[in-house]
Amino acid sequence: MRGTIHYCLEETIISKYGKEKWSECLTSMGLPASHSFASQIIDDIDEDLTLKFILNVPSILNCTLQQVFDDFGEYWCCIYAPKLYNMFYVGVENTKQMVLKLSSIHHTVAKVRQGATPPQFNYKEISSNELEISYISERNLFDLYLSLVKGLDKYFSNETKIEKTSDNSAILTFSH
């Protein structure tokens, strides 16, 4: 997985839980306490290590994995992506528009360098403000996807109703 995910997780944890907790996350996985992913944003980082790392974080922060996903989703959508990938926000006015743009965004980032295998999405329009979305990725991080939708809501001050219909699908009812 692209190191940009790791670096955003690093910034998320440092901003909410402090640098010491971040160092603990690193050392518990055998990485040096002073390590930073800042210089590895476009690197492809080993999948197994990445997933183990993410799954290990809640035990260090003493919280649930869902909480880590929610923290990450909010930080990514409200702070990290607007700073690093602001071009993708241009002309986008609400959560629904960004959700519909995600396939093209991920396609674009995957093209920049080989090795990225970002998630793909299928959409079925149920009504003008309701979408059934299916998440396609071998990483099974659909709960992270849903936390990112919540992060978009924070950014756009929207309130999307999320109804999970399976391990990789949900009905999203948009407020805008």
Nearer to ligand HEM by Cβ, of 36 and 137: the residue is 137
- Name the residue nearer to ligand HEM (CB basis): 60 or 77: 77
Residue 166 exposure: Cα atoms within 13 Å on the Cβ side: 7
Q: How far is the CB of 11 from ligand HEM (least distance, A)?
A: 15
Among 23-31, 123-131, 146-154, 159-167, which window interacts with ligand HEM (CB under 6 A)?
146-154
Residue 129 tokens read as 């403000």
Binding of ligand HEM by 65 (CB under 6 A): no
- Looking at the DSSP bridge assignments, the partners of residue 24 are none
**Least distance between ligand HEM and beta carbon 18 (Å):** 25
Nearer to ligand HEM, 34 or 138 (CB): 138
Residues 6 or more apart whose Cβ sits within 8 Å of residue 28: 56, 59, 60
Rounded Cα distance, 91 and 31, in Å: 40
Closest CB to ligand HEM among 59 and 104? 104
Instruction: List the strands of the sheet with 169-173, edge to edge.
Output: 120-127, 130-136, 169-173, 161-166
26 counts as binding ligand HEM under rule CB under 6 A: no
Return the SS3 of 132. strand
Among 13, 25, 68, 152, binds ligand HEM (CB under 6 A): 152
Closest CA to 21 of 63, 84, 77: 63
Mask: binding to ligand HEM, 83-122, rule CB under 6 A, as x and -?
--x--x---------x---x--xx--x------xxxx---
- Kindly tell me which of 139 and 154 has the beta carbon lying closer to ligand HEM: 139
Q: Is the dihedral of CA 4, 8, 9, 14 positive or negative?
A: positive
